[in-house]
Amino acid sequence: MPSPREEAPLAATHDGSGAGSALEGVARASDAVAPTQDRDAVAPAPERDAVAPARERVVVAPARERVVVAMSGGVDSSVAALLLARAGHPLVGLFMRNGVHVDENESHKKSCCSVSDARDARMVAAKLGIAFQAVDLASEFGAIIRYFLAEYSAGRTPNPCAVCNRDLKFNRLLRFADELECAAVATGHYAQLELRDGRVVVRRGVDRDKDQSYQLFSVSEKNLARARLPLGGMRKPDVRALAADVGLRTAHKADSQEICFVPSNDYRKLLAERGVELHPGSLVDTSGKLLGTHAGTEHFTIGQRRGHGIASDKPLYVVALDPARGLVVLGSREECAARSMRVRELNWIGIDPVRELRCEVQVRYRHEPVPCNVELDATGARVVFDTPELSITPGQGAAFYSGDRLLGGGWIESAELAGAAGLALGPARQAE
């Protein structure tokens, strides 16, 4: 990561001193980039129930506001800043340093938060004439890295992007926004925000191939009320074309395809570098029959089909993990299917909790939502699929949708397997 000597802020310091002068006299914004108030575009919310107290209503901040723009050095955040600047918003661009050294040759320049990314973000900000600073978030990213490692150690598969959105982009950066007297935080997410009856509504981005609404399932409605997502109504080719038209250096830059603190895209290497204690043991089938051995449950994830080293006349999938016993359970496609799952730490966006909800659920980023029933209880919810669903992975997010509207979600705790028998294992459990 760049040091202070390599990447000096252009217009503001880390604590915000000097930001006021950098923003003085900048024209105020039009209403063009604020969330729209569309009371007809959203279906009525499900009937409310007394499972939990009604949430405090939130109101999206008005337009003509100062905005912090999270600038990663990629084309999406660059164009988000461009659109906001064109609308007249006074802006402060922020580049987040994560404290992780990135070997750009090793990462093939497809990660974010590198020295070159910081330079690109700074130069885009300079071209747009906006204030800019690089902020040290090594401590905050350290917490996300520790979460990442702990989840693998516990036999779960982490979702660091969702945690980053919840804890950093739409939480920590909001505190920076307060320090800089900014009303909102903008990012290059492909998702749409609007208002309905004073509540925040999140919709999928127009570009379904790039839609990132799933990664917002755990962000509080209160914080989403201060989010600005200028790219939600755009398609990626148009974003690149716009960047090229105005001569932004990021116009043709490759998209980030890696976790920012795993630039090699090899999380096993990170486990080794951080000294994570592995849980070696046995590979078994769903009846408990020994199939082989392995070097650590941390090297596997639920639904994994390859890389287990076991020859078979039919595909074998990772059905369950039990780090305490060092067990990796393999089974058929049918044995990997779940009829239901437990979800914890529920977060609702735009609606109040309901005792029962009919909707669709998306269980990982690249997953087509499937119909389900959500049954709330005191500790979370039981989600029952219409048909058994493959590869339900503890640690991943479960995002609830009604059509293209994100209703909220929670974290997958366990799965009720439809076909496996013989072993009650770790985060996955047998059907009762």
Which CATH number do you get for residue 89? Answer: 3.40.50.620
Which tokens sit at 29?
A: 């914004």
Beta strands at 405-417 and 370-377: parallel, antiparallel or unpaired: unpaired
pTM of the shown model: 0.81
Q: What type of residue is 102?
A: V
As separate numbers, helices (DSSP H) first and strands (DSSP E) second, the chain gives: 10, 19
Same domain (yes/no): 293, 370: no
Quick one: pLDDT at residue 269? 84
Same domain (yes/no): 177, 287: no
> Which among 332, 349, 371 is the end of a domain?
332
Encode 12-33: b = buried (16+ Cβ within 10 Å), e = exposed: beeebeebeebbeebeebeeeb
Residue 206 is assigned to a structural domain of this protein? no
Same domain (yes/no): 306, 357: no
Q: Specify the 3-state DSSP secondary structure of 298.
A: helix
Query: How high is the mean pLDDT of the chain?
Result: 81
Residue 273 pLDDT class (50, 70, 90 cuts): confident
CATH number at residue 352: 2.40.30.10
Quick one: pLDDT at residue 87? 92
Same domain (yes/no): 304, 389: no
Quick one: pLDDT at residue 274? 85
> Which among 267, 302, 332 is the end of a domain?
332
Which tokens sit at 102?
A: 């990135």
Higher pLDDT, 25 or 98: 98
Count of structural domains, the chain? 3
Encode 172-193: b = buried (16+ Cβ within 10 Å), e = exposed: bbbebbeebebbbbbbbbbbbb
Residue 301 is assigned to a structural domain of this protein? yes
Residue 10 is assigned to a structural domain of this protein? no
Render pLDDT for 297-356 as a digit per residue (tens, 0 to 9): 999 999 999 888 898 888 999 999 999 999 999 999 999 999 999 999 999 999 998 899
Residue 6 is assigned to a structural domain of this protein? no
Residue 294 is assigned to a structural domain of this protein? yes
Residues catalogued as catalytic: 164, 260
Residue 407 is assigned to a structural domain of this protein? yes
Higher pLDDT, 418 or 189: 189
Tell me the backbone φ, ψ of residue 19, rounded to 5 degrees.
-65, -35
By residue range, what is the domain housing residue 385? 337-430
Same domain (yes/no): 164, 72: yes
Quick one: pLDDT at residue 426? 40
Same domain (yes/no): 328, 341: no
